[in-house]
Each structure stands twice: as C-alpha cells, then as structure tokens.
Structure 1
Amino acid sequence: MEIELRETTDGDLAVFWEQSTDPALLRMAALTREYHYDRSRFDAHWEKVRGDPAVTLRTVLADGVVVGHAAVFGPPEEREVTYVIGRGHWGRGIATRALAELIRLEDTRPLHAGAAADNAGSIRVLEKCGFTVTGRIREFALARGEEVDVVLLTLR
C-alpha cells in the first residue's frame, strides 16, 4: 500500500467531517473539542488551521484515497503532533507510516503527543515513531463525558 502526505485541499474537509462525526472514532480519541460536534465550528476551525503558517498540516492518502490527516502545531518549545485515520483504515500501519513521514517534515524537537491511556493503538503508533512516555495526566474527555487518564509522550 502506498502512503502519501500532501497539502490539504477543500475537498478533503468532507472526509474530515465524516471522521469527526464517527462515534467510535471519537470515543477512541476521547480528547475531542467542540468543533467535532458542530459543522460551523468545524469549518471555522479548519479555516483557522489552514491559514496558520505555524501549523504543518497534511492530508493522509492510502493508495490515492483520503484516509485522514496529520499535523504539527504549537509554539517552537511546545510543538505537538496530532493525527486522525478513519476507522475503516485502522490496523493497516497507515498511521505509523503517516506520522513517520510527518515528523521527517518537522525539524523542531522535542515534539509532544498525548493519547487516552486506553488507546493502545495510538500509543503504539507514537512509540514506533520514536516517542517515549514522559508522563500521565487526567483530562476531561468530551467524547466520553468524563475524565480519563492521558499518556504524554515526547520525541527528542
């Protein structure tokens, strides 16, 4: 399978919105924001993200099909990675390959990430890409309506 990262286009947003409304994906991610539940907030969020030169945003393609996105954001001393791969594409190594390519594009170190402690797949992806566990916190998970344990990871 060929994995490619490319600049995000307007047409990609329909796939991102579909992923944003998948209850199983949201539950797994846990740490969602208000824009995951409201289309006008979603559109405003993506307009802001796409217009921010400090954000490295890429659409993830698998064999030419849009399957998600990956990004690096935040100030230089606190750069953080995020990624979403649609549920129908989980378990195929796409997230690992996409994240590995994304961190090759980003020179800043350290890079930070967080994942719900029960999201073993995401933690495994981060560790395969060189991130190490650096801490744990409790955070309110909007998608679950409760606080969850979050694993913090860093790539140095």
Structure 2
Amino acid sequence: MVNSLSDTQKKTAVIADEALAEIRFAGEAQPKVGQPEGIPFDQLNAKQSELLKKLVGVYADAVPEQTAQSRRDLIETNGWSNVHFAWAGALKPGVGHYYRIRGKEFLIEFVNTQADASGNPANHIHCVWRDLTGDFDLPIE
C-alpha cells in the first residue's frame, strides 16, 4: 500500500521514519486513540482506494461471517471518508515497518519489527483489529 503512494501522498501517510516497536495500547482493555493520522481515504486514487479496501477486508473478514458483516456494515455506515492510512518505518521488505488504518469506530495496527527465531530481522508480525466502540463488548470508559 505505502509503495503505491506518490511522494506527495507519502508526506502525509508516513508518520515516522522508524517503525513502532509494538502495537499501541497492547494489553489495554480499550484503546484511547487521538485524532486519525496519515492519509485520508479521499486523497487516494481509485487503484489505491481499492487496495486499501482489500487490506481492510482482510482484517474485517478474519472472523465469523456475522461479525465480519457487522464490521463491513459499520465501515459503510461511517463512510470510507473517515478512514486513514498511516505508515512508519522502512519502505522495503525485510526491514522493520508498521501501519495503522483508522476508521471512525475501528483501528487496525500491523507491526513487523521483531526478528524470528532464526534471527531474520522484521520477520515476526503482530496485528490487531480494535473496536473503538468497545472491544469484547466492554464499555468505553
């Protein structure tokens, strides 16, 4: 996704030169996110928009169909215009990188900065879908 962006778009999408070491809010029952960062969906061209929709779909659909449909409906109801894509870290494979996709009521994070058991750098992924209306049906504090 990040390499499909123009240099101008990358200035908005890339939020840090170095990848985060871990997903934010790890171990917290509910993330406390600020304003969305990165490039808004509306600033993507048609090919990039389709790519971002497919990427979000990978996360939205990684659950039983009823929950997946609820996620898809939520995104459509809130509008793709509320979705932002942010990147941090390297722009080439095999080097630490991180991305975040933020919608009005969801947060996706992907971090690949840890080495695997054989010592290959950036070969151990953590990723998460967070429901900003209350993960695990927990009320927002």
User: TM-score surpassing 0.5?
Assistant: no
Higher strand share: 1
Higher helix share: 1
TM-score of the superposed pair, with normalisation by structure 2? 0.36
TM-score of the superposed pair, with normalisation by structure 1? 0.34
